[in-house]
Amino acid sequence: DTEVTQTPKHLVMGMTNKKSLKCEQHMGHRAMYWYKQKAKKPPELMFVYSYEKLSINESVPSRFSPECPNSSLLNLHLHALQPEDSALYLCASSLKPQSKRGGFVGQFFGPGTRLTVL
Amino acid sequence: AQTVTQSQPEMSVQEAETVTLSCTYDTSESDYYLFWYKQPPSRQMILVIRQEAYKQQNATENRFSVNFQKAAKSFSLKISDSQLGDAAMYFCAYRSALSQFYFGTGTSLTVIP
Protein backbone atom coordinates (compact mmCIF):
# COMPACT_ATOMS: atom_id res chain seq x y z
CA ASP A 1 0.00 0.00 0.00
CA THR A 2 1.82 3.09 -1.23
CA GLU A 3 -0.80 5.76 -1.04
CA VAL A 4 -2.16 8.48 1.15
CA THR A 5 -5.92 8.78 1.30
CA GLN A 6 -7.89 11.87 2.21
CA THR A 7 -11.55 12.35 2.98
CA PRO A 8 -13.71 14.08 2.04
CA LYS A 9 -12.68 15.03 -1.50
CA HIS A 10 -14.83 18.13 -1.42
CA LEU A 11 -16.22 20.10 1.50
CA VAL A 12 -18.44 23.16 1.59
CA MET A 13 -18.98 24.73 4.97
CA GLY A 14 -20.34 27.87 6.52
CA MET A 15 -18.30 30.10 8.77
CA THR A 16 -20.03 28.77 11.89
CA ASN A 17 -19.65 25.08 11.06
CA LYS A 18 -17.29 22.57 12.61
CA LYS A 19 -15.85 19.95 10.30
CA SER A 20 -12.86 17.65 10.12
CA LEU A 21 -10.52 16.52 7.36
CA LYS A 22 -9.04 13.06 7.56
CA CYS A 23 -5.80 11.62 6.21
CA GLU A 24 -4.58 8.04 6.36
CA GLN A 25 -1.46 6.16 5.30
CA HIS A 26 -0.27 2.62 5.92
CA MET A 27 3.31 2.89 4.70
CA GLY A 28 4.80 3.07 8.18
CA HIS A 29 5.76 6.72 7.67
CA ARG A 30 6.29 8.54 10.94
CA ALA A 31 6.25 12.09 9.60
CA MET A 32 2.93 13.52 8.44
CA TYR A 33 2.13 16.95 7.09
CA TRP A 34 -0.75 19.30 6.41
CA TYR A 35 -0.44 21.82 3.60
CA LYS A 36 -2.75 24.51 2.30
CA GLN A 37 -2.60 25.29 -1.39
CA LYS A 38 -4.23 28.09 -3.32
CA ALA A 39 -4.61 27.82 -7.08
CA LYS A 40 -1.35 28.19 -9.05
CA LYS A 41 0.65 28.58 -5.83
CA PRO A 42 3.01 26.17 -4.08
CA PRO A 43 1.80 24.23 -1.06
CA GLU A 44 2.14 26.16 2.19
CA LEU A 45 3.18 24.10 5.16
CA MET A 46 0.77 24.24 8.09
CA PHE A 47 1.73 21.44 10.48
CA VAL A 48 4.23 18.62 10.80
CA TYR A 49 3.77 15.61 13.04
CA SER A 50 6.77 13.49 13.90
CA TYR A 51 6.13 10.23 15.74
CA GLU A 52 2.61 11.41 16.49
CA LYS A 53 3.86 14.58 18.14
CA LEU A 54 3.37 18.04 16.71
CA SER A 55 6.83 19.19 15.73
CA ILE A 56 6.10 22.19 13.54
CA ASN A 57 3.24 24.68 13.59
CA GLU A 58 3.76 27.39 11.02
CA SER A 59 1.85 30.06 12.94
CA VAL A 60 -1.46 28.70 11.77
CA PRO A 61 -4.61 30.35 13.21
CA SER A 62 -6.27 28.43 16.02
CA ARG A 63 -9.37 27.85 13.92
CA PHE A 64 -7.29 25.01 12.44
CA SER A 65 -6.59 22.28 14.97
CA PRO A 66 -4.53 19.24 14.00
CA GLU A 67 -4.67 15.86 15.65
CA CYS A 68 -2.64 12.69 15.18
CA PRO A 69 -4.49 9.86 16.98
CA ASN A 70 -2.03 7.19 15.83
CA SER A 71 0.82 6.64 13.41
CA SER A 72 -1.50 6.09 10.44
CA LEU A 73 -4.04 8.84 10.93
CA LEU A 74 -3.94 12.60 10.77
CA ASN A 75 -6.94 14.86 11.25
CA LEU A 76 -7.46 18.56 10.74
CA HIS A 77 -10.35 20.02 12.73
CA LEU A 78 -11.92 23.15 11.31
CA HIS A 79 -14.00 25.69 13.22
CA ALA A 80 -15.15 29.23 12.47
CA LEU A 81 -13.29 29.41 9.19
CA GLN A 82 -13.18 32.45 6.94
CA PRO A 83 -13.86 32.59 3.18
CA GLU A 84 -10.13 33.17 2.59
CA ASP A 85 -9.48 29.73 4.06
CA SER A 86 -11.00 28.22 0.92
CA ALA A 87 -8.23 26.19 -0.68
CA LEU A 88 -6.99 22.70 -1.44
CA TYR A 89 -5.77 21.00 1.74
CA LEU A 90 -3.09 18.44 1.12
CA CYS A 91 -1.86 15.75 3.44
CA ALA A 92 1.53 14.12 2.95
CA SER A 93 3.71 11.58 4.70
CA SER A 94 7.38 10.68 4.60
CA LEU A 95 10.02 8.55 6.22
CA LYS A 96 11.97 10.07 9.09
CA PRO A 97 15.42 11.44 8.25
CA GLN A 98 17.04 8.80 10.40
CA SER A 99 16.08 6.30 7.76
CA LYS A 100 19.14 4.72 6.21
CA ARG A 101 20.52 6.24 3.09
CA GLY A 102 18.95 4.80 -0.01
CA GLY A 103 15.50 4.66 1.44
CA PHE A 104 12.81 6.77 -0.12
CA VAL A 105 12.70 10.08 1.67
CA GLY A 106 10.33 12.02 -0.48
CA GLN A 107 6.77 12.84 0.40
CA PHE A 108 3.74 10.94 -0.71
CA PHE A 109 0.80 13.28 -1.15
CA GLY A 110 -2.86 12.54 -0.84
CA PRO A 111 -5.31 13.78 -3.49
CA GLY A 112 -6.38 16.66 -1.28
CA THR A 113 -9.64 18.04 0.05
CA ARG A 114 -11.11 20.99 -1.83
CA LEU A 115 -12.55 23.22 0.84
CA THR A 116 -14.98 26.04 0.18
CA VAL A 117 -16.00 28.33 3.02
CA LEU A 118 -19.14 30.33 2.39
CA ALA B 1 15.66 28.83 6.47
CA GLN B 2 16.20 27.24 3.14
CA THR B 3 14.80 28.93 0.05
CA VAL B 4 13.96 27.42 -3.30
CA THR B 5 13.72 29.60 -6.39
CA GLN B 6 12.10 28.80 -9.70
CA SER B 7 12.70 31.74 -11.99
CA GLN B 8 10.45 30.59 -14.83
CA PRO B 9 6.75 31.05 -13.97
CA GLU B 10 5.71 29.66 -17.36
CA MET B 11 7.36 27.56 -20.03
CA SER B 12 6.14 25.99 -23.24
CA VAL B 13 7.52 23.19 -25.38
CA GLN B 14 6.57 21.61 -28.66
CA GLU B 15 5.45 18.01 -28.42
CA ALA B 16 8.41 15.59 -28.81
CA GLU B 17 10.92 18.35 -28.05
CA THR B 18 13.07 18.82 -24.97
CA VAL B 19 12.57 21.40 -22.26
CA THR B 20 14.59 22.33 -19.17
CA LEU B 21 13.07 23.79 -16.02
CA SER B 22 15.42 25.59 -13.67
CA CYS B 23 15.63 25.57 -9.89
CA THR B 24 18.12 27.05 -7.47
CA TYR B 25 18.19 26.75 -3.71
CA ASP B 26 19.98 28.20 -0.77
CA THR B 27 21.15 26.09 2.16
CA SER B 28 23.95 25.68 4.66
CA GLU B 29 23.30 21.96 5.07
CA SER B 30 25.57 19.39 3.46
CA ASP B 31 23.14 16.47 3.49
CA TYR B 32 19.74 17.04 1.93
CA TYR B 33 17.41 15.84 -0.79
CA LEU B 34 15.93 17.52 -3.81
CA PHE B 35 12.78 16.65 -5.69
CA TRP B 36 10.70 17.63 -8.66
CA TYR B 37 6.97 17.25 -8.24
CA LYS B 38 4.37 17.49 -10.97
CA GLN B 39 0.87 18.78 -10.32
CA PRO B 40 -1.53 18.29 -13.25
CA PRO B 41 -4.96 19.95 -13.41
CA SER B 42 -6.30 17.21 -11.10
CA ARG B 43 -4.01 18.81 -8.48
CA GLN B 44 -2.61 15.47 -7.32
CA MET B 45 1.04 16.04 -6.44
CA ILE B 46 3.16 13.42 -8.18
CA LEU B 47 6.81 12.80 -7.50
CA VAL B 48 8.76 12.97 -10.76
CA ILE B 49 12.35 12.50 -9.69
CA ARG B 50 14.59 12.81 -6.66
CA GLN B 51 18.26 13.50 -6.02
CA GLU B 52 20.28 12.82 -2.90
CA ALA B 53 22.85 15.55 -2.28
CA TYR B 54 25.55 13.02 -1.38
CA LYS B 55 25.29 11.40 -4.79
CA GLN B 56 27.27 12.98 -7.58
CA GLN B 57 25.50 11.10 -10.34
CA ASN B 58 22.50 12.87 -11.80
CA ALA B 59 19.21 11.08 -11.31
CA THR B 60 17.28 9.80 -14.33
CA GLU B 61 13.75 8.44 -14.61
CA ASN B 62 12.82 7.50 -18.16
CA ARG B 63 12.33 10.78 -20.06
CA PHE B 64 13.11 12.89 -16.98
CA SER B 65 16.61 13.72 -15.85
CA VAL B 66 18.21 16.31 -13.63
CA ASN B 67 21.35 18.39 -13.79
CA PHE B 68 22.47 18.66 -10.17
CA GLN B 69 25.23 21.18 -9.55
CA LYS B 70 25.84 21.08 -5.80
CA ALA B 71 28.42 23.84 -5.66
CA ALA B 72 26.19 26.15 -7.65
CA LYS B 73 23.09 24.98 -5.71
CA SER B 74 21.28 24.33 -8.92
CA PHE B 75 18.87 21.52 -9.73
CA SER B 76 17.30 21.68 -13.18
CA LEU B 77 14.84 19.22 -14.69
CA LYS B 78 15.09 18.09 -18.30
CA ILE B 79 12.08 16.55 -19.98
CA SER B 80 12.89 14.78 -23.22
CA ASP B 81 10.42 13.81 -25.92
CA SER B 82 7.72 15.95 -24.30
CA GLN B 83 4.23 14.54 -24.30
CA LEU B 84 0.85 16.20 -23.91
CA GLY B 85 0.48 14.51 -20.54
CA ASP B 86 3.54 16.36 -19.28
CA ALA B 87 1.56 19.59 -19.19
CA ALA B 88 1.34 20.54 -15.52
CA MET B 89 2.68 22.75 -12.79
CA TYR B 90 6.16 21.62 -11.76
CA PHE B 91 7.48 22.31 -8.27
CA CYS B 92 11.07 21.99 -7.16
CA ALA B 93 11.35 20.92 -3.50
CA TYR B 94 14.09 20.70 -0.91
CA ARG B 95 14.04 18.36 2.05
CA SER B 96 16.10 19.32 5.08
CA ALA B 97 17.64 17.02 7.64
CA LEU B 98 14.70 17.85 9.92
CA SER B 99 12.11 16.52 7.46
CA GLN B 100 10.97 19.97 6.44
CA PHE B 101 10.11 20.43 2.80
CA TYR B 102 10.49 23.75 1.02
CA PHE B 103 8.82 24.31 -2.32
CA GLY B 104 9.62 26.70 -5.13
CA THR B 105 6.91 28.89 -6.63
CA GLY B 106 6.37 26.53 -9.53
CA THR B 107 6.69 26.53 -13.29
CA SER B 108 3.61 26.05 -15.42
CA LEU B 109 4.51 23.89 -18.41
CA THR B 110 2.42 23.96 -21.57
CA VAL B 111 2.95 21.31 -24.24
CA ILE B 112 2.03 22.45 -27.74
CA PRO B 113 0.73 19.73 -30.07
pLDDT tens digits for range A57-77: 888 999 999 999 999 999 999
How far lies B35's CA from each of A69, B57, B73, B104, in Å? 29, 15, 13, 11
Q: Does B91 touch chain A (CB under 8 A)?
A: yes
Residue A100 has pLDDT above 50, yes or no: no
Please tell me the predicted confidence (pLDDT) of residue A81: 94
Please tell me the predicted confidence (pLDDT) of residue A96: 65
* Cα nearest neighbour of B32 on chain A: A97
State the average pLDDT over residues A26-35. 91
CA distance A46 to A60: 6
CA distance B66 to B82: 15
* Cα nearest neighbour of A94 on chain B: B99
Chain A: residues touching B (Cβ < 8 Å)? 31, 33, 37, 40-43, 45, 48, 50, 55-56, 88, 90, 92, 94, 96-97, 101, 104-109, 111-112
Residue A101 has pLDDT above 80, yes or no: no
Residue B63 has pLDDT above 90, yes or no: yes
Please tell me the predicted confidence (pLDDT) of residue B34: 94
Please tell me the predicted confidence (pLDDT) of residue A103: 53
Please tell me the predicted confidence (pLDDT) of residue A30: 87
Strands B88-95 and B74-79: unpaired
Q: pLDDT category, B86, cuts 50, 70, 90?
A: very high
